[in-house]
Amino acid sequence: MRAYQVVEPNGIEAIQQVELETPTPGPGEILVKMKACSLNYRDLLVANGGYVRNDVRPIIPVSDGAGEVVSVGAGVNGFKPGDRVIGNFFQHWVDGQMGDAGLTSALGGAINGVLADYFILHEEGTVKIPDYLSYAEAATLPCAATTAWHALVDVGGIKPGDTILLLGTGGVSIFGLQLAKAMGAEVIITSSSDEKLARAKAMGADHTINYKTFPDWEQKVLEITQGRGVNNVLEVGGAGTFEKSVASVGVNGTVSVIGILTGLESPTLSLMTIFNLLHIQGVYVGSVAMLKAMVALMEKHQLHPVIDHCYSFSDAMQAYQQLASAGHFGKLVIENDQ
Ligand SMILES: NC(=O)c1ccc[n+]([C@@H]2O[C@H](COP(=O)([O-])OP(=O)(O)OC[C@H]3O[C@@H](n4cnc5c(N)ncnc54)[C@H](OP(=O)(O)O)[C@@H]3O)[C@@H](O)[C@H]2O)c1
């Protein structure tokens, strides 16, 4: 089969196209013909190396894949050839709190991922695709959408009328927008681009802020919320945005710590963390139960993921370059043309 492998930890150039044996599913495993996969910022981190606990070489990259079941291993009862499926980011985090087995079961990091003609899933980490979604749409769900769900629902306990702050218009934030609106929340979203903000507004964002035009965007957030602050911020930035996110959250609010788009330098501790009794919680994608609950809500509301562009398998490295340049809005997808 055709596959890509991250060979050395030194960026996109370290990813090579190779020919590998098509894997055979072992007990409890499922062989899937890849129809589409989607990229996440995390796939750049994996290529760059240093992806803690999940830094194996050589590795087939990319966590988010959708495809058709080809064959199943011994003991698999819940899936059969022909089923349309996606794999949970963590193959062995089924429900409840994260455990040791879950932590080292990240597709495209700790174990081989999906950027190949065929990939292996474990039965417990496999979820059926609802009929209304295409393979390309379903391929966007495991990482970014589940992360947004985890932060909004499991960490933030979202309820109608809450105000949610989203940073930028990448994969996690655009899913955050769709899910938060479907659950009756008010959404504030930032971007470096007025054009992207107009698109976010057309999707239902209540308030938009250009973070380049307004570097003190936390002040705008407080203005919009009449000084109250938001209930939950999906903090995908890191250095330079973390303090502003803390300043944007109201009493008893939540900072869902998700990403490091702007780097990892240590933030300064703010007294408001204490005086506003903030919940500062790390979010690491999610369990199979979270993915299933999120898919059920999306189906109920007939939500379609926002795909910026679809690339062919042979153009996968162009998709990586596009991701690195951050020109996209929503998700970048690679479709299998064979
Ligand atoms: N913890 C987890 O489980 C988890 C899961 C998924 C993702 N993540 C992390 O979350 C982050 C986002 O991931 P993603 O896949 O959504 O990334 P992405 O699609 O690559 O997002 C890129 C967008 O982020 C925005 N951005 C960049 N710098 C920004 C800043 N200073 N302030 C506000 N927005 C900024 C830009 O939006 P505009 O172009 O609109 O300005 C950019 O287009 C990454 O660090 C990723 O590693 C973590």
Question: What is the model's pLDDT at position 10?
Answer: 81
Give SS3 for 324: helix
pLDDT exceeds cutoff 90 at 198? yes
Which H/E stretch holds residue 79?
Answer: none
Residue 72 or residue 9, greater confidence: 72
Residue 287 is encoded by which pair of tokens?
Answer: 């369990």
What DSSP state is assigned to residue 143? Answer: I
Residue 335 is encoded by which pair of tokens?
Answer: 């479709």
pLDDT exceeds cutoff 90 at 8? no
**CB distance 211 to ligand 1 below 6 Å:** yes
The alpha carbon of 63 and the centre of ligand 1 are apart by a number of angstroms equal to 16
The closest-lying atom of ligand 1 relative to the alpha carbon of residue 330 is 19
Question: What is the model's pLDDT at position 264?
Answer: 85
- pLDDT band, residue 268 (cuts 50/70/90): confident
Per-residue exposure over 269-303, b if at least 16 CB sit within 10 Å of its own CB, e if not? eeebbeebebbebebebbbbebbbbbbebbeeeeb
The alpha carbon of 76 and the centre of ligand 1 are apart by a number of angstroms equal to 36
Residue whose CA is closest, atom 19 of ligand 1?
Answer: 170
pLDDT exceeds cutoff 90 at 50? no
Residue whose CA is closest, atom 9 of ligand 1?
Answer: 259
- Each residue's pLDDT tens digit, 229-261: 999 999 999 999 999 999 999 999 999 999 999
- pLDDT band, residue 302 (cuts 50/70/90): very high
Domains of the chain: residue spans and CATH = 2-140+305-335 (3.90.180.10), 145-282 (3.40.50.720)
- Each residue's pLDDT tens digit, 202-225: 999 999 999 999 999 999 999 999
pLDDT exceeds cutoff 90 at 52? no
- pLDDT band, residue 325 (cuts 50/70/90): very high
**CB distance 106 to ligand 1 below 6 Å:** no
In terms of DSSP bridges, do strands 230-235 and 249-257 run parallel, antiparallel, or are they unpaired? parallel
The alpha carbon of 260 and the centre of ligand 1 are apart by a number of angstroms equal to 7
Percent with pLDDT over 90 in the chain: 92
**CB distance 336 to ligand 1 below 6 Å:** no
Amino acid 67 reads: G
Question: What is the model's pLDDT at position 293?
Answer: 98
Question: What is the model's pLDDT at position 49?
Answer: 86
pLDDT exceeds cutoff 80 at 30? yes
Q: Report d(CA 169, CA 14) in Å as an integer.
A: 27
- pLDDT band, residue 186 (cuts 50/70/90): very high
- pLDDT band, residue 311 (cuts 50/70/90): very high
Q: Report d(CA 164, CA 172) in Å as an integer.
A: 13
Question: What is the model's pLDDT at position 266?
Answer: 81
| CA separation, residue 291 to residues 190, 302, 312, 321 (Å) | 26, 16, 26, 28
Measured between its terminal Cα atoms, the distance across the chain in Å is 10
Put simply, whether the predicted model's pTM sits higher than 0.85 gets the answer: yes
Q: Which residues contact 214 (CB under 8 A, 6 or more apart)?
A: 220
The closest-lying atom of ligand 1 relative to the alpha carbon of residue 197 is 40
- Mean per-residue pLDDT for 128-144? 98
- Mean per-residue pLDDT for 57-64? 95
